[in-house]
Structure 1
Amino acid sequence: MLRVLFVCLGNICRSPTADGVFRSMVASAGLSDQVQVDSAGTAAWHIGKTPDPRTIKAADERGYDLSLLRARQALAADFDQFDYVLAMDLENLSNLRALKPAAARTDPQLFLRSFARRFNIDEVPDPYYGGADGFEQVLDLVEDACEGLLADIRQRLNQRSKEAP
């Protein structure tokens, strides 16, 4: 099982969008039994809350269901439980690096920089204080990077199957 954690600040806009998009892509690829997806925030403001209604609406319009997601805060233990810890922006990458235990097995990465194929930017901008177009932009960026992430995971899974006895 490979485990993926998407992280933004409050876990109500960007990271739940990535969670829903990637979960859908994993299911469509027939990999749900091999890939676990989750999301978290580096701040504790929204723990237990659903994603922002604008996030839910934008995702729903593209066929992604975020209704079951609930915000949680990133934990130090996540760095040993997840194979990918993916920050939406540089601030949250810094927050994750500060949270990561020295001996943890996983290092946080910047999501777009690591996996985007069509877009040449490092950060998924926070749409919280903007209009509907910001949520659409987040979906565009996330869909692109999730495609790259899925390709990376397929490669890892294929490598594991070749190494298995």
Structure 2
Amino acid sequence: MARPVGILMVCLGNICRSPMAEGVLRARLIEAGLGEQVRVDSAATGSSHIGHPPDERAIACALKHGIDISAQRARRLALEDFDEFDVILCADRTILHDARIRKPRISHAQVELLLEWSGVGKKDVPDPYYGNARDFEQAFRLVDAAANGIVERVRQGRL
């Protein structure tokens, strides 16, 4: 069997959007029977929450949809990630800019906007951190739509 494709989800703190995106993508891939073909992880461009679990509101939102992200721990985007992952998907344009600046010239990793790359649209996943449960639900719906788009890309071999 070929090496699994590596997809890394990235947001600012790795406690809201990217952990939900990691969890929902992993779940959708498993549901589609594609879990062995893709390796999924998440990271942050910032360092404020390194080692922390996801925000309790993100955990509750994901759990409401049957996805447990409570075991995840925030980590920072590392130079090695640009070698270890084929696709690095960023929650918003600021994160995309930061990730592209960090990308080594010799890296072949695609660094893209999550919703655009997955076919959802040319928009950002709003950061729900300073919001309420409704904001987390909105972010979840967007990353779930992105996960479904990514599953379709995997099915079609468009990675």
Percent identity of equivalent pairs: 44
Please say if 1:88 is aligned against 2:91.
Answer: yes
Q: Normalized against structure 2, the TM-score is what?
A: 0.94
> If the length of structure 1 is used for normalisation, what is the TM-score?
0.90
What residue is the counterpart of 1:63 in the other structure? 66
Report the equivalent of 1:114: 117
1:4 is paired with a residue whose SS is strand
Runs (5+) with no aligned partner, structure 1: 160-165
**RMSD of aligned alpha carbons:** 1.4
Partner residue, 2:5: 2
- CA–CA separation in structure 2 for the residues paired with 1:156 and 1:122: 24
Q: Counterpart of 1:138?
A: 139
Say which of 25, 28, 41 aligns to 2:28: 25
Which residue identity does 1:76 align to in structure 2? L
Instruction: Give the distance between the partners of 1:82 and 1:132, measured in 2 at CA.
Output: 31
Query: Residue deviations 1:120-157, cap 9 Å, x none?
Result: 45100000001111000001111111111111112228
Query: Mapping of 1:11-50 within 5 angstroms?
Result: 11-50=14-53
Structure 2: runs of 5+ lacking an equivalent: none
* Aligned: 1:101 with 2:95: no
Is residue 20–residue 66 contact of structure 1 (8 Å, CA) maintained in 2?
Answer: yes
**Are the equivalent residues in 2 in contact too, given 1:12–1:46 (CA < 8 A)?**
yes
How many residues are matched? Answer: 156
**Cα distance in 1 for residues equivalent to 2:127 and 2:72:** 18
- Structure-2 residue corresponding to 1:124: 125
Runs (4+) of structure 1 exceeding 2 A deviation are none
